[in-house]
Structure 1
Amino acid sequence: MPGLKTLAVVVAVKGGARWEPEDRSGWSHLLEHLVFKGAGDMAAREIVERIEAEGGTINAATGYERTSFEVRGLDGSLPLAMQVLSDLVFRPTLDPAEIEREKDVVAQEIAEAFDTPDDHVFEMVQTRAFRGQPLGRPILGSVASLKPADRAAVEAWRARLYSPDRMVVAASGAVDEAELLALAERGFGDAKAMPADAPETAAFVGGHARLNRKIEQANLVFQLPALGATDPQLPALRLFAEILGGGMASRLFQSAREERGLAYAIDAYQEPYADAGVLGIYAGAAADRAKELAQVSAAEVRALAEAGPTTAELSRAKAVMKAGLWMSDENPMSRAGRNAAQTLIFGRPLSGEAMTEQLEAQTVEDVRAVGARLLAGGKAASAVLGPRAAGGAGEAFEAALFG
């Protein structure tokens, strides 16, 4: 990206919580923590000190289908970034004492997520939507599933998970391509592949979860089965979600908040996985109005699915999404992360121009057609966390939508 004084490097792996058997739930996330406790010739403090000494930052994240490590730094810091990242994924120390200590840290993270209603409610709905499957288990795992992890088992898991045949190195910003390729060969070229079977096929099961808690507001999530990451109708689904609840001009915001005062915060989102996906609605509402909010939300989904958007709504959604795309394209870390993810999914990165063309090609009928697919499943998942009076909102959403 000419003219920039900074760069971003991402190492992304096609692997995460979906690859875990039930008795190893949370191991991918635990491993992501552990590699920062020492790698190569660096102790934990040295990893961050070396990066920050050159003005950089370092971070990592574990999801269901990807684990990623990222460094943002100044022009000239590419050799350090590549060396540190290759040490993290291929040469972590995995000290037994640190493993036990980090289990306690993750246990605190699990407790923190449980204590945070607008976090835990998403975990609850995920468990219902994909019940009995890896996609339905928490990425953090549980205290019980993490307990057996020892050095030998974690190292074996690392070798399987961080396999170079499922790994992408992406860099953006002040980067020289020849230098990047040479550094990649030096830091990653000798890694041995450990092929792994694809995770089991995901199936949206549906169902309703409820947790009564003495807090002021009910936290609500409603989900419908949607599309996987490679589905050709995915651009239309993204527009559907934007029109439904993507901003202050969206149908849900105007109907639920502005016209009825049912919620302070309400939005819609879509989450694609490799072979499945969800369309979701999140809202925070007064408990005694949760069922009404659920019914209004269902009515807006059905109206958009059956009649499609207006031309003005479709035009607005395209403009908003294109703006977000190009703003992301101007950020080195966003661009590197997106390119890495797309290469893992499609085998190559997609240009901003190509994605813009996909969006522009969508018609009112395309959005209506994808809405019909959402309703065709005939099932929903929900989670309600808050005062007892909010109970039954999930069932009310499903009944209003499907009768």
Structure 2
Amino acid sequence: MADPLPGLKTFALTVAVRGGARWEDEHRSGWSHLLEHLVFKGAGEMSARDIVQRIEAEGGSINAATGQERTSFEVRAMERSLPLAMQVVSDLVFRPTLSEAEITREKDVVAQEIAEAFDTPDDHVFEMAGEQAFSGQPLGRPILGSVDSIGRADRAGMEAWRATLYAPERMVVAVSGAVDEARLIDLAEAWFGLATSAPGQEPEPAAFVGGNAALTRRIEQANLVFEIPGLSAHDVDTPALRLFAEILGGGMASRLFQSAREERGLAYAVDAWFEGYEDTGVLGIYAGAPPGRSEELARVAAAELRTLARDGPTEEELARAKAILSASLWMADESLVSRAGRNAAQTLLFGAPIPSETLTARVEAVTAEDMRRLGARLLTPARSATAVLGPKAAGAAGRVFADALHA
């Protein structure tokens, strides 16, 4: 899809695939992320160096990312470079070399990336929480996979996975900025229209399970993640949940920041977020706290979540959250990368991009009563997933949160 913005000399291209780590079974955990690495090692007639040199020689940049439900490739460049960008990304997704030597080498690189994530407490604690939230399911496994599952990859397996994952019927090509729609359609048909593949089965519906995990490490700070079931990206109450997360812990005026940091000095970093997937979602809280005060922080977090869910926000809080979300939408509109990425993601999720005017209208329409109704939905399942990583003194904080939330 084309998103022309008159007067600009540059464009942002996003090629997004409806497929990622959530499509993997346990045997192939991490293969989507590994594949994203491997396609940059050679594709079509290009070597690894050629791929980046061709883009950078025109003043552009290229990048990619793998998520649970999407894999995306991005190019930012001058208007004249659009044909080159389309050709390069087409080669990456449809014609990668996938040599055995590169697979062996990149498996070692990803193994180092896995080790780095494990050694980074505020990364690994999220993996621990995800495993509790969606135990035994793809959403509960790290996007990076494990050393064992990555070690199983070979050329035949990766080529089969590429053909399954990068199915053209699950792709969206989106360009924002200096782009002509007719020209983009011609380029898309030339570089993406003739490819064929056999897309794999749809992922199984996800179910939030819940549980508590704790890992003792000899570090100074306890890293805490508390999660409860959220809503899917398609749910009618998603705008209200985004406001809920903002009021709970979205900024310095949020309830958690004020109560946990400003009033009690329990944490330097504390925030809340919402992640919506195709059929489920998660509302979460993260904090870094002194080990000896982690249980106190857990009680405060549970109390703030329960109070907001039960009583709803004040008019002042609701107005502030609406202003922040609306402003963030319009600010994202001023970034070509954000526009192209959002258009691609929304097309995959909803069938078409949603104008910012529509999104802000949905946010503005949320009432305090909507928030209270949402709060009842959030607390009804009485499930939570918690993870604590740090000194032994903090180990019980997750159970304290769960007990306080569901008391």
Q: Same fold (TM over 0.5)?
A: yes
Alpha-carbon distance in structure 1 between the residues aligned to 2:298 and 2:60: 45
Match of 1:166 in 2: 170
Match of 1:262 in 2: 266
Per-residue CA deviation, residues 271-305 of structure 1 (Å, 9 max, x unaligned), is 11111110000000000000000000000001100
Identity of aligned residues (%): 71
Alpha-carbon distance in structure 2 between the residues aligned to 1:400 and 1:192: 53
How many pairs are equivalent?
A: 403
Alpha-carbon distance in structure 1 between the residues aligned to 2:337 and 2:197: 27
Out of 64, 76, 91, which is 1:60 matched to? Answer: 64
1:57 is aligned with what amino acid?
S
1:287 matched to 2:286: no
Match of 2:161 in 1: 157
Out of 57, 74, 87, which is 1:83 matched to? Answer: 87
Alpha-carbon distance in structure 1 between the residues aligned to 2:35 and 2:52: 17
Per-residue deviation, 1:152? 1.2
Alpha-carbon distance in structure 2 between the residues aligned to 1:365 and 1:74: 48
Alpha-carbon distance in structure 1 between the residues aligned to 2:82 and 2:376: 48
Per-residue deviation, 1:196? 2.4
2:169 is aligned with what amino acid?
D
Match of 1:187 in 2: 191
1:277 matched to 2:307: no
1:20 matched to 2:11: no
1:342 matched to 2:346: yes
Per-residue CA deviation, residues 14-41 of structure 1 (Å, 9 max, x unaligned), is 0011111111101111000000000111
1:128 matched to 2:135: no
After the TM superposition, which residues 179-258 of structure 1 pair with which residues of structure 2 at under 5 Å, given as runs? 179-258=183-262
Task: Classify the secondary structure of the residue corresponding to 1:114.
Answer: helix
Task: Classify the secondary structure of the residue corresponding to 2:80.
Answer: coil
Out of 379, 382, 387, which is 2:383 matched to? Answer: 379
Alpha-carbon distance in structure 1 between the residues aligned to 2:126 and 2:152: 27
Alpha-carbon distance in structure 2 between the residues aligned to 1:6 and 1:367: 41
Match of 2:398 in 1: 394
Deviating more after overlay: 71-80 vs 40-49 = 71-80
Contact 2:213 2:386 in 1 (8 A): yes
Out of 280, 298, 305, which is 2:302 matched to? Answer: 298
Task: Classify the secondary structure of the residue corresponding to 1:383.
Answer: strand
Match of 1:367 in 2: 371
Per-residue CA deviation, residues 294-339 of structure 1 (Å, 9 max, x unaligned), is 0000000011000100111001000001110001011111010011
Per-residue deviation, 1:77? 1.3
Per-residue deviation, 1:70? 0.5
Per-residue deviation, 1:351? 0.5
Output the TM-score relative to the length of structure 1.
Answer: 0.99
Task: Classify the secondary structure of the residue corresponding to 1:172.
Answer: strand
Alpha-carbon distance in structure 1 between the residues aligned to 2:151 and 2:240: 44
Per-residue deviation, 1:233? 0.5
1:41 matched to 2:53: no
Alpha-carbon distance in structure 1 between the residues aligned to 2:51 and 2:345: 25
1:324 matched to 2:336: no
Task: Classify the secondary structure of the residue corresponding to 1:204.
Answer: coil
1:174 is aligned with what amino acid?
A
Per-residue deviation, 1:84? 0.6
Contact 2:165 2:199 in 1 (8 A): no
Deviating more after overlay: 239-248 vs 139-148 = 139-148
1:94 is aligned with what amino acid?
L
Task: Classify the secondary structure of the residue corresponding to 2:96.
Answer: coil
Match of 2:9 in 1: 5
Out of 177, 180, 184, which is 1:176 matched to? Answer: 180
Give the CA RMSD over aligned residues: 0.7
Alpha-carbon distance in structure 2 between the residues aligned to 1:255 and 1:77: 51
Alpha-carbon distance in structure 2 between the residues aligned to 1:195 and 1:75: 33
Alpha-carbon distance in structure 1 between the residues aligned to 2:132 and 2:8: 45
Alpha-carbon distance in structure 2 between the residues aligned to 1:215 and 1:153: 40
Per-residue CA deviation, residues 53-72 of structure 1 (Å, 9 max, x unaligned), is 11111111111110111001
Contact 2:240 2:371 in 1 (8 A): yes
Once superposed, which parts of structure 1, at least 4 consecutive aligned residues long, lie more than 4 Å away? none
2:312 is aligned with what amino acid?
G
Per-residue deviation, 1:75? 2.2
Match of 2:355 in 1: 351
- Flag structure 1 segments of 5+ consecutive residues without an equivalent: none
Alpha-carbon distance in structure 2 between the residues aligned to 1:280 and 1:148: 33
Per-residue CA deviation, residues 156-180 of structure 1 (Å, 9 max, x unaligned), is 1100100011110011011111111
Task: Classify the secondary structure of the residue corresponding to 2:353.
Answer: coil
1:333 matched to 2:337: yes
- Flag structure 2 segments of 5+ consecutive residues without an equivalent: none
Alpha-carbon distance in structure 2 between the residues aligned to 1:196 and 1:159: 9
